[in-house]
Structure 1
Amino acid sequence: MTADAQGGVVVFHIGMRINSFRAVRSWWPVFWAMARMLKDLPEDQGSGLLGYRLLLGGPRLVYVVQYWESQEKLLAYSVAQGKEHRPAWAAWNRRVREGRGKVGFWHETYVVPAGAHEAVYVNMPAFGLGEAIGVIPVGRRGDRAADRLQTA
């Protein structure tokens, strides 16, 4: 199977690193804010979020891979009044100044145009982009990765 990709997609990675487990007051609010955003976003059908996957990167790192319809919708959510992101970002900025490095934060954004991404899923349920947008048989987009990457 392959992702049923008809156009471009935005891949957004966001996460936190616990630098001091004892500093619960520094990292717990960051974790909790992410949980609230992940609850808020899927309920908003117009947000542009296609899907996400929460992942653990060892005992200190928690991150989320998100798939968005467009960079415009991702950026609109980041500044939207009445959504979870703005107050979480303001609180994070206050906390990072007070926390003295007890929790780390990062994000990366990739804008991937149509035809510049491909995916294969073998002997597993839909995952990643395929879970976010649905899957189709590989042959419908080409049998080779090179063929799928040329699809516009």
Structure 2
Amino acid sequence: MSSKPIEGRMTADAQGGVVVFHIGMRINNFRAVRSWWPVAVAMPRMLKELSRDRDSGLLGYRLLLGGPRLMYVVQYWESLEKLLAYAADRDKEHRPAWAALNRRIREGKGKVGFWHETFVVPAGAHEAVYINMPAFGLGEALGVIPVGRRGDRAADRLTTV
């Protein structure tokens, strides 16, 4: 993310639908490094692989911390089909990481937690505003445009309201 704010009111340059995918882990026992460390380092490898492949469908992502125990990623995808195709592809990083995660969760007896949520958001059902902010979130993934080009109010930008 660029640290230079873009002056004024901007919105994401989003024309169609988008898939928002949240995925993360919770460290339930810090001393059980063998349970959580491999999980923590698998995600950056997958994100690197996806970022190198322009056809993967990943539009952008943000790594976040939710306190000392929780790490998660917000991802923006161009379609559910591309997200699911990546998850199922036996030649990509995800499949072995998923198998290893499941094994560690079983063996670790609660020492590491895992979660994900998927939101399929149709065109017109999402909006964003960024005021004096660097490109961020969906705006970072798709680019930003002045708010006036999509409507001055959130209700104007949401066509399904």
Q: Deviations over 1:29-63 (max 9, x none)?
A: 00011111111110011110000000000000000
Indicate whether 1:52 and 2:64 are aligned. Answer: no
Under a length normalisation based on structure 1, what TM-score does the superposition of the two structures give? 0.98
Identity %: 85
Count of residues paired in the alignment: 151
Structure 2: runs of 5+ lacking an equivalent:
1-9
CA RMSD across the alignment = 0.8
Aligned equivalents of 1:76, 1:62: Cα separation in 2: 24
Q: How does 1:1-152 map to 2 (within 5 A)?
A: 1-150=10-159
Which moves more between the two structures, 35-44 or 138-147?
A: 35-44
Structure 1 runs, 4 residues or longer, greater than 6 Å off: none
TM superposition shift of 1:82? 1.3
Under a length normalisation based on structure 2, what TM-score does the superposition of the two structures give? 0.92
- Bigger strand fraction: 2
TM superposition shift of 1:81? 2.0
| Counterpart amino acid of residue 112 in structure 1 | V
Q: Deviations over 1:116-151 (max 9, x none)?
A: 000000011110000000000000000010000018
